[in-house]
Chain A
Amino acid sequence: DIQMTQSPSSLSASVGDRVTVTCRASQTITNFLNWYQQKPGKAPNLLIYTAANLQSGVPSRFSGSGSGTNFTLTISSLQSEDFATYYCQQSYITPHTFGQGTKLEI
C-alpha cells in the first residue's frame, strides 16, 4: 500500500493567516492527489483534485501544488469557516489511501 504522511498533525492559526499543509507519499503518485476538508460530524468535502485543481464551488483562497511524492495545500487567508481537519488522498493505485489528517485550530 502507498502510505500518505501529512504534516503537521495539528496546527494553530488565526483568521487571516496563510497556512500550508504538506503531504508526502511513500512512492510516486504522479499528480493523483486529492485534498478534502472535514468538519466535526460531517462527511469530508472535496477541495482540490489532481494536486492543483480547485473543485467547483471551493473558494479561491484554497490552492494545491506538487507532484511525484510531495504535495502542499495552501490557504492564503484563513477564514473562520476553514477551521477543520484536512486529509490528503492518493488515487494513483488501489487501495486508495488517506493521510492521517491535519487538524487546523484557532
Chain B
Amino acid sequence: QVQLQESGPGLVRPSETLSLTCTVSGDSVNSYFWSWIRQPPGKGLEWIGYIAYSGSTKYNPSLNSRVTISVDTSKNQFSLKLGSVTAADTAVYYCARYLVRVGLHAFDIWGQGTMVTVSS
C-alpha cells in the first residue's frame, strides 16, 4: 500500500524559504508524477507543481519563480522549496501522487498534510 508522509518546519519567517519533504513508501519515486498541493486555512486547493519520474518539472505559473521541486531517489523522497515566503503562503501543504494512465489523470494518493505558518 502506497503511503506519503510530509515533514518539515511548521513555522517559517517571512522572506525565508519554506522547505518540505515527502517520504514515499510502498512505491518508487522513479515511477509516476509527484506533486505538491496547498490549502490556506478555510480555503480551497491550489496545485503548486510536480516532478515526473523522468526528473522534469512543471510549476504553477503563479508561483513559478519561487518554487523548486526535486527528488532524492536514494531516500525515495521528493521535496518542495518555496522562496521569499509571505503570510499568504500560510497553508496546509500536501504531497500527492499524480497517476497518469490511459483514461486516468488524477491525484490518487495523498499525504496527511502538514501545516506551515509564515510569521515572524
A binds B: yes
Q: Which residues of A contact B112 (CB under 8 A)?
A: 42-43
Could you show 14 A-B contacts with beta carbons less than 8 Å apart? A32-B105, A43-B113, A44-B107, A44-B110, A45-B110, A46-B106, A46-B108, A49-B104, A49-B105, A89-B45, A94-B47, A94-B58, A98-B45, A101-B45
- Whether A95 and B62, one on each chain, are in contact in the complex, defined by CB atoms closer than 8 angstroms, is yes
- Whether A43 and B94, one on each chain, are in contact in the complex, defined by CB atoms closer than 8 angstroms, is yes
Q: Tell me, in angstroms, the Cα distance from A32 to B110 when the chains sit together.
A: 19
Q: Is A70 an interface residue (CB 8 A)?
A: no
- Count residues of chain B with CB under 8 A from any CB of chain A: 20
How many A-B residue contacts, CB cutoff 8 Å?
Answer: 57
Query: A-side binding surface: helix, strand, loop or mixed?
Result: loop
Residues of A participating in the B interface, judged by any CB pair closer than 8 Å? 1, 32, 34, 36, 42-46, 49-50, 53, 55, 87, 89, 91, 94-101
Query: B-side binding surface: helix, strand, loop or mixed?
Result: strand
Residues of B participating in the A interface, judged by any CB pair closer than 8 Å? 44-47, 58, 60-62, 94, 96, 103-108, 110-113
Q: Which residues of A contact B46 (CB under 8 A)?
A: 98
Given contacts A94-B58, A101-B45, 8 further A-B contacts (CB under 8 A): A42-B112, A43-B111, A44-B110, A49-B104, A49-B108, A50-B105, A50-B106, A98-B44
Distance in Å from the Cβ of A95 to the closest Cβ of chain B? Answer: 4
Q: Which residues of B contact A34 (CB under 8 A)?
A: 105-107
